[in-house]
Structure 1
Amino acid sequence: MKVTKFSGELVLFDKEKLQHSLRKSGADEDAVFQVMHEIDKQLYEGIPTKKIYKLAFQLLKNFSNAHAARYNLRSAVQALGPAGFYFEKFIARLFEIEGFQTQTNLILDGKCISHEVDVLLKKENVVSMIECKFHGNQDAKSDVKVPLYIL
């Protein structure tokens, strides 16, 4: 059976991919089995993946709000927009929880130009920089030009 991706592309439905995402939310095997069973009954040729996702989210909520929230993480992160500033703060906070010292929105002078670094990390005398790319919709893509320019 084929499904319609967000981009409009038709692809074969991959049950394993959906099961994997349900397991990653923390759902146990019984919940995954029951959600998959319900979704199987409602599948049709060309069904949008967005509809499958919404259905899986609603069914998962019947088992656990916490698992449903983890399953819905992409939408939660998108709600941080439309500007990337809050996303950068969120990423910095994740690293702080892991014991890093962080700074955001720094302007560093290079040989030729100044560049804004979204997140600067330091832990045990190792300094790293993060270039965040926040996209408010699923079909946006980032290429490697910006990180290569920074390098």
Structure 2
Amino acid sequence: MEKYNPTKIKRTCIRAGASREDADQIVKQVSARVKNGTSTQEILYMTLALLKKKVPSVGLKYDLKGAIMRIGPAGFVFEEMIAQILQEHGYTAKVHSMIKGGSGVIHEIDVIAGKSVSSQSGIESNIKYYSIECKYHNSPGIYTGLKDVLYTYARFLDLQDGFKKGYGPRFDQPWLITNTKFSPDVKQYAVAKGMRLLSWDYPRGESLPELIEAKKLYPITMLKNLDSNTQGNLAKANIIFCKTLIETKVEKLNQKTGISIRKLNEFIEEARRIIQ
């Protein structure tokens, strides 16, 4: 369980769009209610409730972490989400590829991503390819630990060996991505081995929520009246983000999902409020 950090609560509220004055008031109220043993999830719900009272639209955006945790319970939607986020940021991305390693073992790669690398002169040259492992957690306060980064790197080495033997494509760097946080030893190991990491708070300036917010890629699970059955129907139609929901013609959504046009229009209107 993470130790309660009022500075973190304030920073999160401001990042969600609350004023400093409102953020200070929320921190004061949350701090007065927190006791020894109060879980991270309880603090999250407490803060979210106060945010919604202050500024409803801000409250919706603060729920980003919870919304990602509601896309589960399995991680396959998270993998598709990561692929689409990377595509919005200029990568090519493909999910669930089966590739033979040098050992002869077939690996299922969560996401294969590629991006052109600029030379010192600023001219784009060759493409750098990443083998990506996604670690999804549907409850807060869970760290992605050392065994995950060790596995990711070991598999990358096997894929490299497979490329040398002509079994599969070239990979230049392994990448471990999670929707929660990494333990300190994961970061230390990744730096030593030249791996990329992406988590809720790392790397600073290009963390998962920052990549999401930069392109307004808020998940549909931020919609307050979305039940699990409707969410599943939208996911099957590859509608993961509010932005995609808005950009897709309602008649096409109706055909793909079986959701009534009236209900879809309600979701679309709410989605517009979230991404504004």
Q: State the TM bucket, normalised to the shorter chain.
A: 0.7 to 0.9
Query: For structure 1, which segment, 37-46 or 125-134, has the greater mean C-alpha deviation from structure 2 after superposition?
Result: 37-46
Q: Find the counterpart in structure 1 of residue 62 from structure 2.
A: 71
Of 133, 143, 152, the residue aligned with 1:147 is: 152
Within the candidate set 41, 50, 55, 2:41 is matched to 50
Q: Flag structure 1 segments of 5+ consecutive residues without an equivalent.
A: none
Structure 1 CA distance, aligned partners of 2:44 and 2:94?
35
Q: Partner residue of 1:115?
A: 107
Matched, 1:83 2:74: yes
Verify: 1:129 aligned to 2:131, yes or no. yes
**TM-aligned CA distance change 1:109 to 1:14, over 3 Å:** same
TM-score (norm 2): 0.47
Give the Cα separation in 1 of the matches to 2:15 and 2:27.
Answer: 14
Give me the whole-angstrom Cα distance separating, in 2, the residues matched to 1:66 and 1:96: 27
Instruction: Give the Å deviation of 1:69.
Output: 2.5
Please name the residue that 2:217 is paired with. none
Distance in 1 between residues matched to 2:41 and 2:76, nearest whole Å? 27
Alpha-carbon RMSD: 2.1
Question: CA 1:67–1:126 in 2, change beyond 3 Å: closer, same or farther?
Answer: same
Q: Distance in 2 between matches of 1:87 and 1:47?
A: 28
Which whole-Å deviations, capped at 9, do the CAs of 1:62-84 have from their partners, x for residues lacking one?
A: 23333222322222111111111
> Which structure has the higher relative contact order (CA within 8 Å, separation 6+)?
1
Distance 1:137 1:42 in 2: 21
Whichever structure has more strand as a proportion of its residues is: 1
Check if 1:21 corresponds to 2:23. Answer: no
Partner secondary structure for residue 118 of structure 1: strand
Tell me, yes or no, if the aligned pair for 2:96 and 2:109 is still in contact at 8 Å.
Answer: yes
Residue 84 of structure 2 aligns to which amino acid in structure 1? R
| Counterpart Cα distance in 2 of 1:31 and 1:68 | 12
Provide the residue aligned with 1:103 in structure 2.
Answer: 94
Contact 2:69 2:137 in 1 (8 A): yes
Q: Where does structure 2 lack aligned partners over 5 or more consecutive residues?
A: 117-126, 157-276
Q: 1:146 to 1:69 in 2, by over 3 A?
A: farther
- Segment drifting more, 65-74 vs 99-108: 65-74
Judging by fraction of residues, say which structure has more helix: 2
TM-score normalized with structure 1 length: 0.80
Give the 3 Å change call, closer, same or farther, for CA 140–45 of structure 1 in structure 2: closer
- Distance in 2 (alpha carbons) for counterparts of 1:101 and 1:141: 25
Are the structure 2 counterparts of residues 110 and 31 from structure 1 closer, same or farther at C-alpha, using a change threshold of 3 Å?
Answer: same
